[in-house]
Structure 1
Amino acid sequence: MAVINVDAQSCKPYDVVILGASCFTGKYVVREALKFLNAPNSPLKSLALAGRSPSRLSEALKWAGGPKHAQKIPLLCADTSDPDSLARLASQARIVLNCVGPFRLHGQPVVAACVESGCDYLDICGETEFMERMEASYHDEAAENGSLVVSACGFDTVPAEMGMLFHSSHWIGPSAPSRVEAYLSLESEKRIGANYGTYESAVLGLANAHKLAELRRSSPRRPRPKGFVIEQQKELGLWALRLPSADSSVIRRTQAAFTENPRGLAGEKESIEHAKMRESFWSSVKPAHFSLKIGSKSLLGLLPVITLSVFLGPLSRSRVGRWLLLKFPSLFSLGLFSKKWPSEEEVASATFKMWFVGQGYSDSSVALNPDTQVVTRLMGPEIGYLTTPIVLLQCALVLLDDRDNLPKGGVYTPGTVFGPTDLMQRLRENGISFDFISWKPLSS
């Protein structure tokens, strides 16, 4: 297999470069990308993998695609600690898909390289402070250079964003939601440990919570849910626990952008047809307070989340505590998180359901108290290794297919960029369902 050095400036540009392709999630992203490489009607015509180790990239490619791709996919040497290598990488790609986390440690140099070169950037980050800091630091430069930077293009937070927009579409006419609570239920025939990278990001995020607070003090204040409460959602048959989430913060940012731009963001070379569709789409959106809750069919099923919540706060504040948390994730989460990678069978056995329960008004112009409830639902495969690659690749394909109709550049949320596109339909065609469940009046 040929190993291509990023120094070679004469390399043909790539539609997509997957950075961090040899990590466990990255391998699944590679496998998903190969489904669309040179497939009929696919805009993905050229693909490269990037990372520090050519041998590991080679093994990832063999795992994802087998021998038939061994001589066809270039491998690029790049390291997040080497800005020059990232600059050379970004200069060769239309889109960089970044799978290298934790993003607070490794993400900023990649964003900087893409913004400087005018390359589009997507990642699977679920780290609130990183995303808000990138917006504060790079939005203006990205807008000027034509670099579209969109974080959280994995399970965090596209299902929540698109699910919220889908839910909004079912409040017809004068009706409007006041709040929407999402209940996430993870199901599996086999016990599967959640992604360790997500756990590491959570530990580091809590350890640096003061930095997010400092960043937000310099930005306009937005309402945020407080604390966590266990509840029984009898209608769904779930016990639920509300926790702070990237989904909530990203949706707040999308709604803030909607308030500032009620017709959405125009593309630099947008067609008349797309402009009409964009304006029609955003005119039907009805913002509401959003919160996410982790659900389980039994109260006992929430015990790992409760246990982790108890330990995370105090231990993340000290160096020794963080070392213990990161060294023994399974112990502190009762097996919810593990350093052990799941098997293919374990991944294939897992699914998710995300219920959106909205309460609001049948006529928002006259109602004083919520009198209507709407329930919608998303369903799909395992969230970290199957749904996340599906979402990331479909976001990339939308960029390749529809770039002229999208904003020239800037740092945005997925909902802001992809809301008026066909992303929802693409997700439906790739195993993620959007369903209307019920509408009913609320008893007074």
Structure 2
Amino acid sequence: MTAVESYLSLKSGPEGFGLHEGTWQSAIQVFGDHGNLKNLRKKMSLKPLPVVGKKLNRRNTVFYSDKVQKYAFPFGSDAAVVKRTQRYLYEDLQETPVQYAAYGIVGGIKTIFKFMIAGLFFLLLTKCRWGRKLLIKHPKFFSFGFFSKEGPTQRQMAETSFSITFFGEGYSQGLDTQQGKPNNPDIPLRQFSWFKPELPF
């Protein structure tokens, strides 16, 4: 395996789904401190990991994925965590590093519009201290109701589930990775995880 992409999809019931403000605040701190994090990584002077096979085309904005036939966007810090693990495997255990990109699946055009507007406000406001305070104080308003101080209700949690689909690309066992492109492109490696707690009523 030389490259993997994951697509996270959420499915909710009639009452929709909600997320707690803790996740919202974490995202605010990450984006607000992005400049310092970038400088720290530069000071570490880490060598780029070697790319085996075809270089993975990582997307930075909302895009239409032919693999899942839906719109998607870069999701979370999963890719950074995986990259750190791959560095350890390569430098300490001499294993071939795997490229990785994580995406979240967006719904229809209406959801995409909300996502882009909320994302624009989010990026602008996280650049300054007063903007971050404003985002923390009013999570529900700036996220179009997705995040709140109350978090999801019991019914919302019971009616919400998620799935993650992985697409891998690599070489057959014994094939020289230095010769040509991977001969097993876009192997669908599907793993579904469902979360459905019991309702107290």
Shorter-chain TM-score bucket reads 0.7 to 0.9
**What residue number does 2:52 align with?**
none
Instruction: Report runs of 4+ in structure 1 exceeding 6 Å deviation.
Output: 223-227
Match of 2:77, as an amino acid? A
Partner in structure 1 of residue 177 of structure 2: 365
Paired with 2:39 and 2:98, the residues of 1 have a C-alpha distance of 26
RMSD: 2.7
How many Å apart are 1:240 and its aligned residue?
Answer: 0.8
Q: Distance in 1 between matches of 2:139 and 2:58?
A: 26
The one of 378, 397, 401 aligned to 2:191? 378
The corresponding residue for 1:212 is: 37
In the alignment, does 2:124 pair up with 1:292? no
Aligned equivalents of 1:239, 1:353: Cα separation in 2? 15
Displacement of 1:368 in angstroms is 1.6
**Structure 1 position 221, deviation (Å):** 4.5
1:187 matched to 2:18? no
2:60 to 228, 231, 235: 228
Deviations 1:134-167 (A, max 9, x none): xxxxxxxxxxxxxxxxxxxxxxxxxxxxxxxxxx
The CA deviation at 1:377 is: 2.1
1:207 CA displacement = 1.4
Report SS of the residue matched to 2:193.
Answer: strand
Distance 1:342 1:206 in 2: 24
Matches of 1:194 and 1:222 in 2, distance apart? Answer: 35
Q: Classify 1:225/1:314 alpha carbon distance in 2 versus 1 (closer, same or farther; 3 Å).
A: farther
Q: Which runs of 5+ in 2 are unaligned?
A: 50-55
- Tell me the secondary structure at the aligned position of residue 365 of structure 1: coil
Change (3 A) 1:251 1:334: same
**Residue matched to 2:162:** 352
Distance 2:57 2:177 in 1: 26
Q: Which runs of 5+ in 1 are unaligned?
A: 1-175, 264-284, 387-444
Match of 1:203 in 2: 28
What do the CA deviations read for 1:153-207 (whole angstroms, capped 9, x no partner)?
A: xxxxxxxxxxxxxxxxxxxxxxx33x21111111111312122111101112211
Q: Distance in 2 between matches of 1:323 and 1:196?
A: 13
Structure 1 Cα separation of the partners of residues 107 and 141 of structure 2: 23
Q: Partners in 2 of 1:295 and 1:342 — Cα distance? A: 20
Aligned match for 2:86, one of 242, 255, 263: 255
* Inter-CA distance 355–317: structure 2 relative to 1 (3 Å threshold): same
Calculate the TM-score normalised by the size of structure 2.
Answer: 0.79
Q: Residues 304 and 335 of structure 1 are in contact (CA less than 8 Å); yes or no, is this contact kept in structure 2?
A: no
Which structure has the greater CA radius of gyration? 1
Match of 1:307 among 101, 104, 117: 117
- Separation (CA, whole Å) in 2 of partners of 1:331 and 1:257: 41
